[in-house]
Structure 1
Amino acid sequence: MRKKYAIFDVDGTLADSMRYWDHLAEDYLGGLGIHASGEELAPIETMTMSESSAYFIHRYSLSKTPGEVMEEMFSLIRKHYEEDIPLKEGAAAYLRSLRERGVRMCVATANDTALSRACFRRNGILEYFDFFVSCEEIGRGKRDPDIYDFCREKMADEAGTSLLPSDIAVFEDAAYCLETASNAGYYTVALFERSYERDWDRIRRIADESYVSWKEAA
């Protein structure tokens, strides 16, 4: 990757956290005595946390607000970001090499930025990123390019220049995110995530670069 600007996803891309998220909804609903099927949970895969919360309230007639559901789910997963979620192997060294080359980096996540910051601070990579933005802040998930466009405009403002989508590399693990960024004109870099193993062939077709491990990236 030879771009001077980069936008990074967190979960499944830099942080090895997907196994926690894969079971969060099931664990949360199970705590309420609800045994959700895989079919019932499938729609939340591309939703933001607030969208998922609203979906649960509607689907299971919960007497809660979306904010209450979000906070309850965050309370289940927060401790993992603060205490034990590791980075993907080789991620820290790769980020360090980009910073040494003068690459400006930011985070675009569907997760809460406070959780991402806690994980990055504990793993010693927080300093590499200029800013963090969440889909909740933007008001749209990664089916739309708004979060990438926001990051591009903010990077351009901070650098005092103009930037085209093609000037920026977007690092993601999920096919739909890579497709969104690619269709919007961004240079895309994919990292393998076991949760999306079934989509790997499609992901490799979408992305400009794709890697099974950060140790392969250059």
Structure 2
Amino acid sequence: MTLQLIINNSKINKRKNPITCRANCELFDSITNECGVHDIHDPDNPKIASRCGDIIFKEENEDQDITPWERPLEYEFYNEEFENEDEMDEVFNEFKGEPISSEDSTYPLQPDVPAKRDDALWYVAPNEEFGCWIVNKSPQKFLSVSDISKAKQGWNEKVYKSPYPLHDHNSSLPLSSRMVWYVDSEGYGQYALLCAGKISMISHPRPSNWME
């Protein structure tokens, strides 16, 4: 079973043409001036779009000033973590959860939801622009690196050897406190989703034919 989860990850404050529901999302109906999923009162407000986890970019806007590091992540179930259907149900129930408002959020300095596992540590980027959990399964000792160009690359441009992330996950607010920088046994890190104490979804599974 594969699940693809598209996350709004636009850096709206740094764009000449900020992403909005009306201008950029396929779910917005220009005739009724309503979103097909949510009750939105201000579809031209970029902050609304930045907090939405359901935005689907219109085809003509797919390449709108979005660098590879800002593009939406796609997640697949990390099936090794699930032992039965009850665990999968728990993940879905927690993932739906209660909505988090920007007024009540403590992100990125503190997570809005707990990790529910002992080996997860909360990390805040030096510039305090983003945060995430870190789960490190590698026995290796890492050399500190300051940017992605100096890190050893893996099978994807967003997969590299580093004990902490060197790029922002750019997730919507409801997902930001569930993001985890997951470092595998060989030292390669990438973003995944942490839910119900499980590494439940992973963005770039290792290809079976990939060799270091």
TM norm structure 2: 0.28
**Greater share of strand:** 2
Instruction: Flag the structure with more relative contact order, 1 or 2, with Cα contacts below 8 A and sequence separation at least 6.
Output: 1
Greater share of residues in helix: 1
